[in-house]
Amino acid sequence: MTPLASLLVERIREAGPITVAEYMADCLLHPVHGYYTTREPFGTKGDFITAPEISQMFGELFGLALAQAWLDRGAPSPFTLAELGPGRGTLMADMLRATRGVRGFHAAARVVLVEASPRLRTLQAATLAPFCAPTWVDHIDDLPQAPLFLIANEFLDALPIRQFLRQPGGWHERLIGLQDGRLAFGLSDPLPQVPDTPAFQDAPVGALVEYGLPARQSVASVASRIALHGGLSFWIDYGGWRSCGDTLQALRAHAFDDPLAHPGRADLTAHVDFEALVPAGLAHAYDTQGSVLGRLGIAARADRLAKNLTGLALENHLAAHRRLTHPEEMGSVFKVLALTSAAAPLPPGFAP
């Protein structure tokens, strides 16, 4: 049993079962035993690899897309260039390197990072030292009131979700309790009410519906700044327009794990339900990662980089291009949601 599992067992013995959201929050960000608080999980030696860690092209193209959107919106100065959950800081570093030639962009940008893990903040500071002096805030609500150009890659999937099961007698919440002294899934008593959303309204008996309040609050907080001050946000994650069923998953050393087996030592995520996130009053565009990167010019950029490579480096580069864009790899399962002011031009990377 992991140290966090022992703490959770003790807590459940004393206070009763916990929700999936409470479990996720502790597993990921417990101040002593949380996954992101204690480790650096990215890359081939970690538990998973994210798009910016696969190839510099990802950050370069999204950086240029944000810079183009900034120009299209009148080049406001100053503005906030923000990232949510920046991991090792690789995405922001690639975005800043690629946009050095965009006149006025860096001079006007105030780089702000939203990161909960003190350990990862230290790493981000080191990665970004050659490019900028960012400031960190604990919460999205602490972002400055200013024009906002923001990116969040694999941030929403790390936010806690609750799970609800529709049975013939009504809705029950999926809870985590104890069986033979170990963590085990169970169900609450029937609930008097559940969130009033299309996913709940349309669910047949037997359906499991996930509800992520922190993801909704995160997008709403960013949206309110964009509605007031202008800007654009890109939300990139795996999921669907309406993600269905039980999508809670644990990853450890690049393999799926039982979500209850190693609390604090495995990454825990849930697919993002993009439909639930679109706020009223903003324009949105939505497409697959492969299509968006294609329109942003990844093929031309990949060819350009390939010209300087040979042997294994060239093979790895071609594999990275395929991995980011091919429908059987990350190209389809990862989606991009762009949110911008109602009257603003279509964000780069999207077709009308």
Ligand X SMILES: C[S@@+](CC[C@H](N)C(=O)[O-])C[C@H]1O[C@@H](n2cnc3c(N)ncnc32)[C@H](O)[C@@H]1O
Q: Which is nearer to ligand X, 146 or 268 (CB)?
A: 268
Among residues 61, 81, 91, 223, the one that binds ligand X under rule CB under 6 A: 91
Alpha-carbon span 112 to 110, nearest angstrom: 6
Tell me whether residue 120 or residue 219 sits nearer to ligand X (CB atom): 120
For ligand X, the binding residues in 205-234 under the rule CB under 6 A are: none
Asked whether position 155 contacts ligand X by CB under 6 A, the answer is yes
Piece of the chain touching ligand X by CB under 6 A; list 110-118, 179-187, 245-253, 318-326: 110-118
Measured from the CB atom, the residue of 53 and 344 that comes closer to ligand X is 53
Shortest reach from residue 344's CB to ligand X, in Å: 25
Considering the complex, state which of residue 156 and residue 260 has its C-beta at the smaller distance from ligand X: 156
Residues of this chain, 271-300, that bind ligand X according to CB under 6 A = none
Residue pair 219/150 in contact (Cβ under 8 Å)? The answer is no
Interaction residues for ligand X, span 13-32 (CB under 6 A)? 28-29
- Is 113 among the residues that bind ligand X (CB under 6 A)? no
Answer yes or no whether residue 56 interacts with ligand X by CB under 6 A: no
* Other Cβ atoms closer than 10 A to 342: 10
Q: Does 115 bind ligand X (CB under 6 A)?
A: yes
| CB of 111 vs ligand X, minimal distance in Å | 15
Nearest distance in Å: CB 154, ligand X: 4
86 binds ligand X, rule: CB under 6 A: yes
CA dist 296 and 60 (Å) reads 10
Asked whether position 120 contacts ligand X by CB under 6 A, the answer is yes
User: 63, 85, 331, 347: which one contacts ligand X (CB under 6 A)?
Assistant: 85
Segment interacting with ligand X (CB under 6 A) among 85-93, 251-259, 288-296, 319-327: 85-93
- Residue 279 preceded by cis peptide, ω within 30: no
Q: Which range of residues in 80-88, 239-247, 252-260, 321-329 is near ligand X by CB under 6 A?
A: 80-88
Work out whether strand 272-273 and strand 231-240 pair parallel, antiparallel, or are unpaired: parallel
The residue (of 172 and 265) whose beta carbon lies closer to ligand X is 265
Q: How many residues bind ligand X (CB under 6 A)?
A: 20
What is the distance between the alpha carbons of residues 198 and 314, in angstroms, rounded to a whole number?
47
Asked if 153 touches ligand X (CB under 6 A), the answer is: yes
Applying CB under 6 A, the residues found at the interface with ligand X are: 28-29, 36, 42, 50, 52-53, 85-87, 91, 114-117, 120, 153-155, 158
